[in-house]
């Protein structure tokens, strides 16, 4: 250490060049760091989707899902296989270890399921990586008060706006929703067709045979070749109406029957009509077209959104009268979150510098210490760039956490240089020796803070993936600050502290009040230690009162309500229900709501959301954006809306706070409370699930309870009598095909109109359910009624079959009202279910947030234990002692007292962010004790008696201990204030560290000297 300090003082130009080099490369690195909300998380989940006609769930489960699950479970790295089978479709979610190579896993899974894609019963088999970051970066609504025709609006949105936006840098795709397309609608009259002996099939073939241009060879004359082309393409619905489809008899003026052509318009209505929409979108009650805009993978979100905003500005200028409303803007969310962290870090730095000035009262000294902050941060950008990190709320949070600690090393060096100056040492000698004396303690304290992050880097699972980047950033910033303190602070001290007289009156630092208090405490040391033990025990008993949860609850200004109406509900009925809900929201939350965006029907997006395969005409969502000036957040409104909507029967609601992709990555995007009943027989599972549902209904902390065993899809079962059908020589496929064509219509080609191809659809009038018995089935010239060939019954298919790791499951989900901690709620639920008797082979398990909380707390407890062991090992190496490091370790439980007290006083629950704060405390809180114990050892070496050495060290190190703790606490203070998901993530961690540092600093100055005194006495006796 002495050589490094000597080098710094002897070669100031070299040190200046090193600083300039770091700053120059730091600015270049900073300009090239990517910006995103979260680190690039490897989400170990693959989704398999199967579509198979209109098969009931049990049939899909037995014939397709079970054998596929058997093949999937054998794949390397698979930890969980869950499936959900509904009518006509199934979804299998495959979860892997977090360290699995997902590209390799994806290819292996594709190979394993190739055989099933060839299965005749499988209409469609899709396998895709579940990437939550693939959600749209922007959601916009396009409307025009003067246009109500959705086809006209679609033409502008699709042919102009979409084409403009797709060319923007970083934009991968733009999807439309809520649009309608015109088609030529041919509505036939079945009685007219029957009277003329014409079938719908013959009309379709006639239309298709005439609707084409045919090449007829060529003729050559006088050296010129002429191409012959037969032109027969339809130009308009009138052309179609004039199509001759047969002959009919008609009376002439003389009353005689004569044969005349039968035209299509004689037996059908032919007209332009908008197709039935796939989905219906409204903004604040008005029909509009939704635009979902996706960015390219790994492209900078903020840059993509900035370019999009410029694109929208051009579109608005080119299309006056058209209104473009931005509903969701991921770039703004990221920009705000990152801006907030940057501001917090800067405010923290200002606080730290103010503390320095108040203590040091010298501008020169304050400048020396403050120089450590910008140089350390700029050096950190270099290490971040070369390690492939990005600027996100976790890495910037790491910098903000480190901001207060960056000056700690510099404070201790400068404070020690001052001590030597006051004893009369020359400035250069004081700079070298002052740095060398505390160099060992600095390395130890920096290493203890860094080693607590090592277990986090090694953690598997969600918490490890999320905090890895933050751990690296804090480690890099602290290493940089150590480098600055040892190499740069000595020369800055020589340059900025000015010339000192060679002889200064030696001042022994003394704080009389503290000295008297500490002397009395050492005299009654056993009582002090006992009081500390009682305090620690009481605080740890309070954990059950504090409660714990998985992730901190964020206060956001956006939320969505996912709506599912009874299966079989048509799109128009879904849209009218959603419109009524929209009106209720607008009236109930009038002055607080900026926009209400409703989407009825299946989504037309790319995000590959886990629910896309089950979306239909009976599903939709409402997105509510709360005004910026509203004092309330989504947490306040969701229970209000839940009460408002209770009057709407047979409706399932899922409330989702639009935080970000984080919830989905961590697996906490589903309902927070989930109870699964496992067994084999669906009837027994149904009964047990009903009992669990009834037991939970009395719990006032739960709302929006849902069971997976509810009425399924209404269906008409046409049971074909094979014997009767065989007698009439009709096969089953012929009966079903005729039914299908009559009910669903036939495609009859297309014609070009206005530069676009327009579909031609032949459709029969709507057929009433009661008349289905009399439906006519044709077989050549013979005709039969449907009830002569089949028995018709109305029933309902099971809603869904859920499986988890090859077990059938009944699932109940619920949301939590208020701020009830998840662990306390889990105890209540287990108490409520204790009275239910489960038959052999049947059991229940708590999933949702409670399962994630248990897993994360388990892995973080291991990280905490490992970090304490590593801290002990670093200190044992530093002090070459096994006893003194143990003395220092006692600071950690003292820090825990303050952290737990902070959460108890603020009425907050512990969560994984707070736990990470506790892990960090293990490294930060011991720093004060290291400085204190190191000073005691140095004074003992100088020949002082034990009590004298303890008193002198405590007085000598009181000011630097207070300064380092205060700079760290005030540096973190701005992180506890803020709004939004990023603020919720940061504040829990910062509160844990601030609370812990407050108690550890105060108790270190009293308890640690007493413990040192006791342990040192024991060591001396043994000697």
DSSP state, residue 299: S
Beta bridge partners of 183: 273, 759
Q: What is the mean pLDDT of residues 800-819?
A: 82
Q: How confident is the model at residue 28 (pLDDT cuts 50, 70, 90)?
A: very high
pLDDT the model gives residue 608:
43
Average pLDDT estimate for 486-494? 85
Q: What is the rounded CA–CA span in Å between residue 108 and residue 464?
A: 26
Which whole number is the average pLDDT over 617-626? 86
- Fold annotation for 45-129: Alpha-Beta Plaits (3.30.70)
Burial class (CB in 10 A: 0-12, 13-18, 19+), 106: middle
Say how far residue 954 (Cα) sits from the centre of its chain: 48
Sign of torsion, CA 678 681 687 693? Answer: positive
- Give the pLDDT mean for 381-402: 82
φ/ψ (deg, to 5) at 877: -65, -40
pLDDT digits over 938-979, tens only? Answer: 888 888 888 888 888 888 888 888 888 888 888 788 878 765
- For residue 888, the model assigns a pLDDT of 84
Label residue 504 left, alpha or beta by phi (over 0 means left) and psi (-120 to 50 means alpha). beta
CA 16/CA 13 separation, integer angstroms: 5
E-state strands within 484-611: 558-564, 593-600
Question: Domain 513-545+881-1022 adopts which CATH fold?
Answer: Multidrug efflux transporter AcrB transmembrane fold (1.20.1640)
Strands 756-763 and 746-753: antiparallel
Distance CA 960, CA 409 (A): 10
More confident residue, 466 or 175: 175
Among the residue ranges 13-27, 174-188, 711-725, 882-896, the one predicted with the least confidence is 711-725
pLDDT confidence tier of residue 502, bands split at 50, 70 and 90:
very low
Does the structure show a pLDDT above 60 at 984?
yes
Percentages helix, strand, coil for the chain, rounded to the nearest 5? 55, 20, 25
Residue 506: per-residue pLDDT? 42
Cβ atoms of 854 and 548 within 8 Å: the answer is: no
The mean of the pLDDT values for the chain is 80
- Tell me: pLDDT of 360 over 80: no
Handedness of CA 291, 295, 301, 307 (dihedral sign): negative
pLDDT band at 503 (very low <50, low <70, confident <90, very high): very low
Say if CB 456 and CB 383 are below 8 A apart: no
Cα separation, 274 vs 154, whole angstroms: 12
**For 412-437, what is each residue's pLDDT tens digit?**
888 788 778 877 788 888 888 888 88
**Beta strand ranges found along 786-918 (DSSP E):** 790-796, 801-804, 807-816, 843-848
Would you state the torsion angle of the CA atoms of residues 256, 257, 259, 260, taken in this order, to the nearest 10 degrees? 80
Predicted structure pTM score = 0.75
Q: What is the DSSP string of 419-443?
A: HHHHTT--HHHHHHHHHHHHHHHHH
Residue range 248-302, pLDDT digits in tens? 877 777 777 787 888 878 888 887 777 788 888 998 888 899 988 888 877 777 8
Compute the average pLDDT of residues 143-171: 86
User: Residue ranges of the alpha helices (H) in 144-263?
Assistant: 150-156, 162-166, 190-196, 200-210, 237-241
Q: Is the pLDDT of residue 24 over 90?
A: yes
Residue 864, token pair as written in the block: 């905490």
Q: Is 490 exposed, middle or buried (0-12, 13-18, 19+ CB in 10 A)?
A: buried
Q: What is the pLDDT of residues 673-697, one digit of tens each?
A: 888 888 888 888 888 888 888 888 8
Percent of the chain with pLDDT over 70: 90
Q: What's the mean pLDDT in 885-889? A: 85
In the predicted structure, residue 993 carries a pLDDT above the cut 80: yes
Which overall architecture, per CATH, does domain 1-32+362-498 show?
Answer: Up-down Bundle (1.20)
Q: Which residues, other chains included, contact 31 with Cβ-Cβ below 8 Å and sequence gap of 6+?
A: none
Q: pLDDT tens across 728-777, in order?
A: 788 877 777 777 777 666 666 667 766 667 777 666 666 677 777 777 77
**Whether the predicted pLDDT of 883 surpasses 50:** yes
**Average pLDDT in the 403-414 region?**
78
Greater pLDDT, 489 or 760: 489
Give the C-alpha separation, 137 to 724, whole Å: 59
513-545+881-1022 shares the fold of 1-32+362-498 = yes
Determine whether 737 is exposed, middle or buried from the number of CB atoms within 10 Å of its CB (0-12, 13-18, 19+): exposed
- Angle, helices 427-451/912-924, rounded to nearest 10 degrees: 140
Coil vs helix vs strand at 44: coil
Cα–Cα distances in angstroms (integers) from residue 453 to residues 387, 458, 459, 821, 925, in the given order: 16, 9, 10, 27, 14
- Selected residue with higher pLDDT from 659 and 588: 588
Domain range list for the chain: 1-32+362-498, 45-129, 513-545+881-1022
């Amino acid at each position: 250490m002495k050589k490094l300090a000597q080098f710094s003082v002897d070669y100031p130009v070299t040190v200046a060049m090193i600083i300039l080099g770091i700053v120059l490369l730091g600015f270049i690195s900073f300009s090239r760091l990517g910006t995103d909300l979260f680190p690039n998380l490897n989400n170990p989940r693959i989704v398999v989707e199967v579509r198979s006609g209109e098969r009931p769930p049990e049939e899909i489960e037995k014939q397709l899902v079970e054998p596929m699950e058997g093949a999937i479970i054998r794949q390397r790295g698979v930890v969980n296989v869950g499936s959900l089978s509904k009518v006509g479709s199934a979804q299998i979610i495959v979860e892997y270890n977090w360290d699995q190579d997902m590209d390799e896993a994806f290819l292996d899974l594709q190979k394993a399921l190739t055989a099933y894609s060839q299965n005749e019963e499988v209409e469609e088999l899709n396998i895709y990586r579940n990437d939550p970051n693939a959600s749209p970066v922007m959601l916009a609504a396009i409307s025009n008060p003067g246009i109500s025709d959705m086809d006209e609006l679609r033409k502008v949105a699709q042919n102009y706006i979409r084409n403009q936006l797709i060319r923007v840098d970083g934009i991968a795709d733009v999807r439309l929703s809520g649009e309608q397309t015109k088609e030529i609608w041919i509505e036939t009259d079945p009685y007219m067709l029957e009277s003329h002996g014409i079938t719908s099939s013959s009309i379709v073939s006639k239309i298709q045979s005439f609707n084409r241009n045919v090449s007829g060879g060529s003729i050559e004359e006088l050296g010129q070749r002429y191409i012959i082309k037969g032109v027969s393409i339809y130009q308009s619905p009138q052309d179609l109406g004039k199509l001759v489809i047969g002959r009919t008899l008609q009376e002439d003026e003389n009353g005689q029957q004569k044969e005349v052509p039968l035209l299509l318009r004689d037996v059908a209505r032919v007209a332009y009509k908008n197709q039935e929409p796939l989905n219906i979108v409204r903004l604040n009650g008005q029909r509009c077209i939704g635009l979902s805009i996706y960015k390219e993978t790994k492209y900078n979100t903020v840059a993509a959104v900035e370019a999009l905003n410029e694109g929208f500005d051009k579109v608005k200028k080119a299309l006056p009268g058209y209104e473009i409303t931005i509903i969701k803007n991921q770039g703004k969310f990221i920009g705000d979150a990152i801006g907030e962290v940057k501001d917090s870090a800067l405010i923290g730095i200002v606080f730290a510098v103010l503390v320095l000035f108040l203590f040091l009262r010298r501008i020169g000294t304050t400048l020396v210490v403050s120089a450590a902050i910008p140089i350390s941060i700029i050096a950190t950008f270099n290490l971040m760039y070369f390690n492939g990190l990005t600027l996100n709320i976790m890495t910037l949070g790491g910098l903000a956490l480190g901001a207060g600690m960056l000056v700690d090393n510099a404070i201790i060096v400068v404070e020690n240089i001052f001590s030597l100056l006051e004893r009369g040492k020359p400035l250069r000698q004081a700079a070298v020796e002052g740095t060398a004396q505390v160099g060992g303690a600095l390395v130890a304290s920096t290493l203890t803070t860094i080693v607590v992050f090592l277990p986090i880097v090694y953690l598997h699972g969600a918490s490890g993936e999320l905090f890895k980047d933050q751990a690296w950033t804090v480690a890099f910033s602290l290493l940089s600050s150590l480098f600055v303190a040892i190499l740069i602070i000595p020369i800055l001290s020589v340059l900025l502290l000015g010339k000192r007289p060679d002889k200064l009156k030696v001042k022994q630092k003394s704080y009389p009040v503290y000295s008297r208090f500490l002397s009395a405490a050492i005299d009654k040391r056993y009582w002090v230690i006992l009081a500390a033990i009682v305090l620690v025990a009481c605080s740890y008993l309070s954990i059950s009162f504090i409660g714990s949860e998985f992730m901190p609850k964020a206060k956001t200004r956006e939320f969505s309500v996912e709506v599912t109406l009874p299966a079989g509900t048509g799109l128009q009925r879904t849209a009218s229900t959603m419109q009524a809900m929209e009106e209720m929201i607008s009236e109930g939350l009038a002055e607080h709501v900026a926009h209400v965006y409703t989407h009825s029907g299946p989504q037309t997006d790319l995000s590959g959301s886990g629910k896309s395969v089950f979306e239909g005409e009976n599903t939709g969502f409402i997105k509510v954006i709360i005004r910026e000036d509203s004092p309330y957040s989504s947490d306040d409104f969701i229970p209000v809306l839940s009460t408002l909507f209770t009057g709407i029967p047979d409706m399932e609601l899922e409330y989702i706070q639009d935080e970000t992709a984080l919830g989905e990555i961590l697996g906490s995007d589903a309902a927070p409370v989930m109870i699964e009943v496992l067994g084999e027989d669906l009837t027994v599972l149904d009964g047990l699930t009903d009992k669990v549902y009834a037991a939970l209904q009395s719990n006032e902390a739960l709302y929006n309870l849902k069971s997976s065993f509810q009425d399924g899809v209404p269906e008409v079962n046409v049971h074909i009598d094979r014997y009767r059908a065989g007698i009439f020589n009709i096969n089953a496929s012929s009966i079903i095909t005729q039914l299908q064509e009559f009910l669903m219509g036939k495609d009859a080609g297309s014609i070009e109109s206005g530069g676009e191809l327009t579909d031609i659809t032949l459709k029969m009038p709507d057929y009433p359910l009661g008349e289905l018995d009399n439906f006519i089935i044709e077989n050549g010239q013979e005709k039969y009624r449907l009830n002569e060939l089949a028995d018709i019954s109305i029933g309902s298919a099971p809603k869904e079959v859920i499986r988890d790791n090859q077990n059938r499951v009944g699932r109940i989900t619920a949301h939590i009202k208020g701020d009830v901690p998840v662990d306390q709620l889990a105890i209540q639920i287990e108490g409520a279910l204790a009275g239910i008797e489960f038959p052999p082979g049947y059991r229940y398990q708590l999933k949702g947030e409670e399962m994630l909380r248990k897993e994360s707390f388990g892995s973080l407890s291991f990280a905490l234990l490992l970090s304490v062991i590593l801290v002990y090992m670093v200190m044992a190496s530093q002090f070459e002692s096994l006893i003194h490091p143990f003395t220092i370790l006692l600071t950690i439980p003292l820090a825990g007292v303050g952290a737990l007290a902070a959460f108890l006083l603020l009425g907050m629950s512990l969560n994984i962010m707070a736990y990470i704060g506790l892990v960090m405390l293990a490294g930060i809180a011991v720093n004060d004790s290291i400085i204190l114990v190191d000073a005691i050892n140095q004074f003992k070496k100088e020949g002082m008696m034990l009590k004298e050495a303890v008193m002198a060290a405590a007085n000598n190190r009181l000011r630097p201990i207070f300064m380092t703790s205060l700079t760290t606490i005030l540096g973190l203070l701005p992180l506890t204030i803020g709004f939004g998901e990023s603020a919720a993530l940061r504040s829990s961690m910062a509160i844990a560290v601030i609370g812990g540092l407050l108690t550890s600093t105060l108790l270190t100055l009293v308890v640690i000297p007493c413990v040192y005194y006791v342990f040192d006495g024991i060591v001396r006796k043994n000697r």
